[in-house]
Chain A
């Protein structure tokens, strides 16, 4: 079964740190670009970060650049998001999602597999 399971969310004080994990199964993880997408309470979706299958390329939203670091361990089929200097506005459900795929006709773009999300609350 194709599955993504996030963990690591919780309550943290402003300025604090948290590391999220996302365990993948049912597909070739090492060949798949992966992303983090967040959703503040009652708000819309916001792209946070993407990492290539090899881990050699990373991309960040301006709002998290310099504070968040995306990484992966392909030997463990696990994606990570290290979040530092957290702010109240980072409070959200964080989803990991598989980004795009290749087939015989080329590259196809879209977040095609999603986890159930993990809640991060930044508050004193």
Chain B
């Protein structure tokens, strides 16, 4: 049950776009379309932003999008805003009938 690999940090200026990668294996990210992304502000509970690789829950801005290629999933945030500054985590179902998270990425809006 190794964690998925995410960059520790990314940054961007307001209005720009950024992409956060999430790399796993064929036993998790590559094997299922069950990748999800979470936003977590300090001292708050995580919030679901993307499910099933690329779907947005009701109420989540369309500035957030998800995709997958092989064993790597990606979260893209376009038109960066100050309130997007947070930690972001990916998660995937695995072939062991378990779930695994990425190590998390701190997004800084410059």
| Chain A residues in the interface with B (C-beta under 8 A) | 35, 37, 44-47, 50, 59-63, 95, 108-112, 114-117
Contacts and interface: CB of A to CB of B under 8 A. Distances in A.
B3 interface: yes
> What are the 9 closest A-B residue pairs judged by CB atoms, nearest first?
A110-B51, A110-B36, A109-B34, A44-B104, A114-B45, A47-B99, A45-B101, A112-B48, A44-B103
**Main secondary structure on A side of the interface with B:** strand
Contacts of B72: none
B89 A116 contact: no
Nearest to A63: B1
A109 B51 contact: yes
A86 B34 CA distance: 31
B40 to A, nearest CB: 8
B3 A111 contact: no
Interface residues of B, number: 27
B69 interface: no
Contacts of A37: 46, 101
B38 A45 contact: yes
Given A44-B103, A110-B57, A117-B45, 9 more contacts: A37-B46, A37-B101, A44-B87, A45-B104, A46-B101, A59-B97, A109-B51, A110-B52, A110-B91
A112 B102 contact: no
A47 B97 CA distance: 12
Contact of B101 (A44, A50, A60, A117): A44
B46 to A, nearest CB: 6
Contacts of A60: 98
Nearest to B6: A44
A47 B101 contact: yes
B36 A47 contact: no
Contact of B46 (A45, A61, A62, A108): A45
A115 B44 CA distance: 10
B31 to A, nearest CB: 13
Contacts of B41: none
Nearest to A115: B45
A47 B45 CA distance: 14
